[in-house]
Amino acid sequence: LRPMDAEQLRECGHRMVDFIADYYKSMETFPVLSQVQPGYLKELLPDSAPNRPDTLDALFDDIREKIIPGVTHWQSPSYFAYYPSNSSTAGFLGEMLSAAFNIVGFSWITSPAATELEVIVLDWFAKMLKLPSQFLSDAPGGGVIQGTASEAVLVVLLAARDRTLKKHGKKSLEKLVVYASDQTHSALQKACQVAGIFPENFRVVKADCSKNYAVAPEAVSEAISVDLSSGLIPFFICATVGTTSSSAVDPLPELGNIAQGHDMWFHIDAAYAGSACMCPEYRHHLDGVEKADSFNMNAHKWFLTNFDCSLLWVKDRSYLVEALSTNPEFLKNKASQANSVVDFKDWQIPLGRRFRSLKLWMVLRLYGVENLQSYIRKHIQLAEHFEQLVLSDSRFEVVTPRLFSLVCFRLLPPTSEYEGGRQLNYDLMDAANSSGKIFISHTVLAGKFVLRFAVGAPLTEEQHVDAAWKLLQDEATKLSGSACI
Ligand code: PLP
């Protein structure tokens, strides 16, 4: 066995790149949503690992016949579900190089370039987003790459928890209260569970449907007042820029004022819509970020950076480090002991970390900010186009105003449908997704079952949006028996 023979890597690597390029070229021949049944793969693969080596050819055959049918093609141009998860040549090359070095960069010493590139690229990015200067690495703050937005909110919740417990005493844990809206991603609830926040102290404030499902600051204030009068300790507010269901934007300045007024941690989750805010015409959605203690966006969603790459900035890194650092003997080294370097192990949950800044650096270097802005704008224009198509067919309605590249819409139910359109729209989504031609997802807003059409895959063009709309119209016609208008 010569597992890292350079010539073998060259030969097999070229073949794999060819295989991947062919996959991308033939993407549209596959059903976007995998159509396999649960357990399908157990029927196709042996019960135990092979004792003798197999050939790469045999493996490619299995990938074609057994694996690809069970893949949902997130990079398909007809993928419109959830939020996107972009790949790109630059991101892909970065992943390759990161796999090549295969470092475990927990401390600066384990690969100085990994830490230093991460610091530099996150500073670049903070400047692109016009984040306040306190979030930069030469201030008390700084940026770090987490795996996901869920990890990002967990680490800042831990930092906030410990900051508050330091002030009120360790025994106050049961009194700590977290505030968010009913549109906040479930990642926050999970973070609360992990951080030991008492479940009854997770305050879910109903979003305001008259404000496109943004939370009303008065409602948050009121909840805080009630809790204060019961002797509880409000300590964390999470706002969202681009909620998961409808891409609503919470009122950051007002929520920030409330948080500052009560010495609470203010976190902003811009996992999806953060990317749009690098375009000047969308930057206003971040107004108020100067009041935040932490800000997060996923470069792996809508920024051409292959999964995973979630960017987190904090205004004061000392709280993160205090909550998460350890200093075992076996990791001690001169640079760390001298306090002259960043050790990102102290900004995250795991010890080990990948060289993820490479792919982000490559995306920025090989595409440049202007191209990246055009890319975002194009998706938003395509979503606008889809929205116009929906509006032009009186059988449908657009449910919430579109802010970015997500359109929330539904087929209007006949007045006789007692479920208010739930079954009808479920059937429409199911028919469209089962066709294999597109993949869309759903949500529920104010009790309405709503279809979500999110533009963001890197290969999507107007023709794909038009074809998706035609399919939805045809399926609607079949379901309701009425003619297209
Ligand atoms: N926050 C928002 C607004 C999201 O839309 C999502 C996922 O779509 C998340 C958080 C969770 O993202 P992750 O998978 O990176 O944890």
Sign of CA dihedral 88, 93, 96, 98: negative
Q: Are residues 161 and 337 in contact, defined by beta-carbon separation less than 8 angstroms?
A: no
Residues 107-139 pLDDT 10s: 999 999 999 999 999 999 999 999 999 999 999
Return the pLDDT at 413: 92
Same domain, residue pair 284 and 404:
no
Q: DSSP alpha helices (H): ranges in 403-461?
A: 422-434
* pLDDT band, very low/low/confident/very high, at 484 (cuts 50, 70, 90): very low
Select from 456, 442, 433 the least CA-distant residue to 410: 442
Q: Are residues 93 and 362 in contact, defined by beta-carbon separation less than 8 angstroms?
A: yes
Q: How far is the CA of 375 from the centre of ligand 1 (A)?
A: 21
Please indicate, yes or no, if residue 39 is contained in any of the structural domains. Answer: no
Same domain, residue pair 141 and 286:
yes
Stretch 376-400: mean pLDDT, rounded? 97
Q: How far is the CA of 146 from the centre of ligand 1 (A)?
A: 12
Same domain, residue pair 290 and 249:
yes
Same domain, residue pair 433 and 338:
no
Q: What secondary structure does DSSP assign to 285-318, as a single string?
A: GGTTGGG-SEEEEEHHHHSS--S--EEEEES-HH
Please indicate, yes or no, if residue 57 is contained in any of the structural domains. Answer: no
Best residue for ligand 1 mutational test, from 272, 294, 310, 408 (most atoms within 8 Å of Cβ): 272
The answer on pLDDT for 27 being more than 60 is yes
Stretch 223-248: mean pLDDT, rounded? 98
Which of 312, 338, 367 is a domain's end point? Answer: 367
Which of 334, 367, 400 is a domain's end point? Answer: 367
Please indicate, yes or no, if residue 403 is contained in any of the structural domains. Answer: yes
* Amino acid identity at 236: F
Residues 441-465 pLDDT 10s: 999 999 999 999 999 999 999 999 9
User: What is the CB-side half-sphere exposure of residue 110 using CA atoms within 13 A?
Assistant: 20
Same domain, residue pair 382 and 356:
no
The answer on pLDDT for 482 being more than 60 is no
The whole-angstrom separation of Cα 133 and Cα 130 is 8
Please indicate, yes or no, if residue 64 is contained in any of the structural domains. Answer: no
* Nearest-atom index, ligand 1, CA of 152: 16
**Helix H or strand E segment including 408:** strand 406-411
* pLDDT band, very low/low/confident/very high, at 415 (cuts 50, 70, 90): confident
C-alpha triplet 10, 11, 17: angle, nearest 5°: 85
**Helix H or strand E segment including 357:** helix 357-391
Same domain, residue pair 219 and 310:
yes
Same domain, residue pair 192 and 299:
yes
Tell me, what CATH number does 436's domain have? 3.90.1150.170
* Amino acid identity at 338: A
Rg (CA), the chain: 24
Q: Which residue, judged by its Cα, is nearest atom 2 of ligand 1?
A: 271
- As for how many domains the chain has, the answer is 2
Which of 350, 367, 384 is a domain's end point? Answer: 367
Residue 296: beta bridge partners?
Answer: 269, 312
Q: DSSP alpha helices (H): ranges in 178-309?
A: 187-195, 217-229, 252-261, 299-302
Host domain of residue 198: 103-367
Q: How far is the CA of 228 from the centre of ligand 1 (A)?
A: 30
Same domain, residue pair 392 and 418:
yes
Please indicate, yes or no, if residue 40 is contained in any of the structural domains. Answer: no
Report residues whose beta carbon is within 6 angstroms of any ligand 1 atom.
83, 148-150, 185, 187, 240, 242-244, 269, 271-272, 298, 310
Same domain, residue pair 455 and 413:
yes
Same domain, residue pair 398 and 333:
no
The whole-angstrom separation of Cα 470 and Cα 125 is 39
Best residue for ligand 1 mutational test, from 269, 298, 312, 404 (most atoms within 8 Å of Cβ): 298
Return the pLDDT at 420: 84
Q: Are residues 64 and 30 in contact, defined by beta-carbon separation less than 8 angstroms?
A: no
Tell me, what CATH number does 351's domain have? 3.40.640.10
Return the pLDDT at 480: 81
Please indicate, yes or no, if residue 226 is contained in any of the structural domains. Answer: yes
Same domain, residue pair 388 and 294:
no
Return the pLDDT at 417: 72
Alpha-carbon distances, residue 301 vs 226, 249, 400 (angstroms): 37, 17, 22
* pLDDT band, very low/low/confident/very high, at 365 (cuts 50, 70, 90): very high
Please indicate, yes or no, if residue 420 is contained in any of the structural domains. Answer: yes
Stretch 19-34: mean pLDDT, rounded? 97
| Average pLDDT over all residues of the chain | 96
Return the pLDDT at 241: 98
The answer, yes or no, to whether the previous bond of 393 is cis (omega within 30 of 0) is: no
Residues 152-200 pLDDT 10s: 999 999 999 999 999 999 999 999 999 999 999 999 999 999 999 999 9
Per DSSP, the three-state class of 215 is: strand
Q: How far is the CA of 297 from the centre of ligand 1 (A)?
A: 9
Please indicate, yes or no, if residue 228 is contained in any of the structural domains. Answer: yes
The answer on pLDDT for 485 being more than 60 is no
Q: What tokens were used for 207?
A: 């979003």
Return the pLDDT at 438: 98
Same domain, residue pair 198 and 300:
yes
Percentage above 70 pLDDT, the chain: 99
Largest CA distance in the chain: 75
